[in-house]
Amino acid sequence: MLSLQRTRLAGLQRRVGNTLSSGLSGPWWKRSVSLLSLLFGFFIGSSLTVHLAESVTYRTFSGLYCLIASEFLVLMRPKWRGLDNFRLGFVYAIVLEAFKVGS
């Protein structure tokens, strides 16, 4: 296999590879907890948007409530490091729901 030249694309590929390998290395329980927190955030985000869409008459307020919850998770980040994956799943569920609604 030929070695890559020193280009910006090769540097980007190296950085992405190093990031992925560091994220996938380590104990199995750490990877499984991060995956479970990502999936749990997705579950909470998807069920919260459905619940808020039914209970609140204005959809803009439900989006505002989800935004406030997401910003609250950012504020709690220094205390609990595991909230990053939860927040990522939560925001992904909200964006996916917005694409489904078409807004």
| 2 part of a folded domain | no
| 66 is a domain residue | yes
Q: Is residue 1 part of a domain?
A: no
b/e 60-70 (16+ beta carbons within 10 angstroms → b): eebbeebeebe
Q: Is the pTM of this model over 0.75?
A: no
pLDDT at 17: 87
The reply to whether 86 falls in a domain is yes
Does residue 3 form part of some domain? no
SS3 27: coil
The total domain count for the chain is: 1
Residue 82's domain spans which residues?
A: 27-101
Q: Does residue 87 sit within a domain?
A: yes
Tell me, yes or no, whether 7 lies in a domain. no
One pLDDT digit (tens) per residue for the chain, 103 residues:
456 678 888 889 889 888 878 767 778 888 888 889 889 999 988 888 777 767 666 666 777 777 788 888 788 777 776 788 888 898 898 888 878 777 5
Q: Does 18 map to a domain?
A: no
Residue 21 Cα distances to 3, 59, 82, angstroms: 19, 41, 19
